[in-house]
Structure 1
Amino acid sequence: MKKYLFFSFILATCSLYECKTPRTQTSKSVTVSIDTENFLSCCAPNLTLPDGKPVWCETSAVLYDNGTVYLANDKEMPTGLSPVFSKPWDRLADTTVQPKPLLAEPFLTSKKFEDFATNGDYIFLTTAFDRVKPGSADWDGFNTILYWKRGNEAQPQVLAPEEGAQNSVAYREQLSRLLAQNRPAFSAGMPYFKVEGLAVKDSMLLFGVREEGESYSKFDYRTRIVAVSFTKKKTASGERLALKDDWRIVTDFDPASVVELPKPLALSSLEYDPIRQVFWLVTSIEKDNLVDAYLWVATADELLNNRPFTLVRDKQGQPIHFGHKAEDITLVGRDHLLLIHDDDRLLTKVGSRTRQPNQAAYTVLKVH
């Protein structure tokens, strides 16, 4: 009887005070609001390339880690700078604090970075995989996945089948064959595709594909996600990571299923949120000088079993969107998301301020 009364008391107390236990947040229950919008600077104003053209800040990748924001530009930078750099989180918009360039050789030889990801142990950074030149290694740098132990960004390694490789172009054929499955017109593999998303969950990498088709000028917009596992291998100098041979398409999603949204929307970022155990997906549109982006969410079970993502809305039920081409998303603390925007060379605005060439817009979201 005493034991029964004790448990009755606990149940009553929990009812009164809403006792909380850890649980996975369902994709249907997520709402967000815009917390902050601002500009950051990739470099000093009026910086030019050797040909005299201005350096444009076209940020395509972002990662928050322990008070530092890591960013990547998808265009080359002048000598002495790097397309990969960092700024303190609490000084992100401060124009008096110059970015710190990451000058390790792989950051300088890889081309067109698109997305960061982390599983808490390693940080990954992928390029677009959107071009290769048959019979030549000239464009192999566009096909690169870098990784490093957290806190060791001075020594990035190349993810490749063979130790010592300068790029990850060896994995391009596997991606090409996979994306061409059940497409008779592409029996030799997908000729052109573009990776814009990267996420990592435990020991599984997930690549988000935005474009597929015959060439960079003739393609279809996509929101497809490819998963592959990775493993650690011992080497004479320590250890390295390598991908397994279990490539598979886990998501083939059509944002047009939500009829109220503009078209064509396609994937521009993917991120795993270990706190809520969900994946965040960003889709964007760039059409006739219109840029915009929308946020989606799915549980791991939904993503891995090709079930639709849920459009994220505010508390009033309206879709969250940004008026910028959001390119990457990262979790900041428990309840905030940072989105970096790549508006190409459009002079977009934040409030009444107009973007300058050395600037990129960003948005901070509050998750409720």
Structure 2
Amino acid sequence: MSRVRILQKGVFACFEPGLKDADGQSVNAEVSAVAWDGRRLVMASDKDVPGDQRSPVFALDCVDGLPQPDSLQFYTADLIRTAEKYEDFALTAEGNHLIATTGFDRVDGQSAAMHHYNRLLIWPVGDPATPHLIADRKDEGVRSSVGLRDDLEAALGAPYYKVEGLAAIPGRDGADARLLFGIRELGQDHEHFDYVSRVVAAPYRMDGDALVFTGDFGVIYDFDPSRWDGVRFAVGLSSLEYDHASAWIYFLTSFEVTDDNGDEQVGAYLWALTLDDFLAGRDPELVQAEDGSPFEFANKAEGVAVLGDGRLFVVYDPDRALELEDEHPRDAREPHEAPYTLLALD
């Protein structure tokens, strides 16, 4: 079984201290996505970061697995800056482009008012100035990928779902590469759903800097984390990552529940399996701590990136909570800071 070692915990600044929104409230860092593009950690908040010169998507140089505080760069292209509720990033199978997805869980059937919650974007690595909108559609002046909702609904068989994972895997035997959408919530609507760990795949090809789907969407993988001893609460998929170097796939599944005593419990688990096992539908491994017990994050892990040396960089969405776990070197973070954990997997 795979075992994990915590190498370092810390925080990084997502914007300047003291930033306020239009109502005068402190803006809170809520990081929900991360990718390593070969030099930088590209991250996103699932909440707005106000200001034309800022964005919910930003990048930090990464040296020896650690984000560098003086290297913050916001990705301010209009399509990137105005999307809402980013959930995950992925490198294309070719490794030359970065793809970003929102949750695709909000839509207004009567207008385009919520279409910006439905965007799938792509841009060349290191060049976010001219992003392409995948499945580009314009309604009432709003550009989005909302048409992909029909493909996802047909694959999942339910009108409500939430995308929280994204990865791209190479094609085999001449087949096209495939984009993977990790599904966390599935049901009738946002109040009546189940947590799931399900993956929808769609074949694609690159046309210059644009991504074009070439076939139907379909469920390719599904597992039930509750079957594993040590998984304490109902969890749903919160991130999906493919390591192109090792051909391993990683899942994060997280929980946010109220226990029998009325206390809020948050945490997450890490899972791993080879691409061959994934394609064969075999169970993933529940990654263990050094003592052999299931490794459980003490916070709601929302994104995982594989660095060039195979180490894992994990980010969290703590919502508005500022207190950090007991094992963290600091007691609390500031609102503009986000926590991270650097891991080694044996």
1:111 aligns with 2:84: yes
1:228 aligns with 2:202: yes
**Of residues 67, 74, 82 in structure 1, which corresponds to 2:55?**
82
* CA displacement 1:132-163 (0-9 Å, x = unmatched): 10021111111111111222222111111669
> Structure 1: which 5+ residue stretches go unaligned?
1-27, 181-189
Equivalent pair of 2:30/2:317 in contact (CA under 8 Å): yes
Aligned twin of 1:193:
161
**Aligned partners of 2:202 and 2:168: how far apart in 1?**
10
TM value normalised by structure 2: 0.89
* CA displacement 1:195-242 (0-9 Å, x = unmatched): 000011122100000001122122111100001111234xxxx55221
Aligned twin of 1:174:
151
1:61 aligns with 2:33: yes
1:265 aligns with 2:265: no
The Cα shift of 1:326 comes to: 0.6
Rg (Cα) greater in structure = 1
> Which 4+ stretches in 1 moved above 4 angstroms?
91-95, 161-165
Which range moves more in the overlay, 297-306 or 251-260? 297-306
Trace 1:2-21 onto structure 2 (pairs within 5 A): none
Aligned twin of 1:17:
none
Equivalent pair of 1:295/1:312 in contact (CA under 8 Å): yes
**Aligned partners of 2:201 and 2:138: how far apart in 1?**
22
Aligned twin of 2:173:
none
Amino acid at match of 1:175: L
Equivalent pair of 1:43/1:98 in contact (CA under 8 Å): no
* CA displacement 1:232-261 (0-9 Å, x = unmatched): 34xxxx552211222110111110011321
**Aligned partners of 2:287 and 2:17: how far apart in 1?**
36
1:279 aligns with 2:249: yes
**Aligned partners of 1:163 and 1:242: how far apart in 2?**
17
1:149 aligns with 2:119: no
Structure with the larger helix share: 1
1:366 aligns with 2:336: no
Q: 1:214 to 1:305 in 2, by over 3 A?
A: same
**Aligned partners of 2:84 and 2:156: how far apart in 1?**
22
**Aligned partners of 1:337 and 1:94: how far apart in 2?**
17
The Cα shift of 1:339 comes to: 0.5
**Of residues 2, 9, 16 in structure 2, which corresponds to 1:44?**
16
The Cα shift of 1:352 comes to: 3.8
Q: 1:122 to 1:63 in 2, by over 3 A?
A: same
Trace 1:178-327 onto structure 2 (pairs within 5 A): 178-180=155-157, 190-202=158-170, 203-233=177-207, 240-288=210-258, 289-327=264-302
Equivalent pair of 2:196/2:236 in contact (CA under 8 Å): yes
**Aligned partners of 2:342 and 2:257: how far apart in 1?**
24
* CA displacement 1:4-45 (0-9 Å, x = unmatched): xxxxxxxxxxxxxxxxxxxxxxxx4x3221111111111122
1:174 counterpart SS class: helix
Aligned twin of 2:331:
353
**Of residues 302, 318, 321 in structure 2, which corresponds to 1:343?**
318
**Aligned partners of 2:210 and 2:138: how far apart in 1?**
8
**Aligned partners of 1:280 and 1:163: how far apart in 2?**
35
Amino acid at match of 1:286: E
The Cα shift of 1:98 comes to: 6.2
Amino acid at match of 1:64: W
2:151 counterpart SS class: helix
Q: 1:98 to 1:53 in 2, by over 3 A?
A: farther
Amino acid at match of 1:85: F
Equivalent pair of 2:204/2:214 in contact (CA under 8 Å): yes
2:144 counterpart SS class: coil
Give the RMSD, CA atoms, in angstroms. Answer: 2.0
1:102 aligns with 2:75: yes
**Aligned partners of 1:178 and 1:52: how far apart in 2?**
43
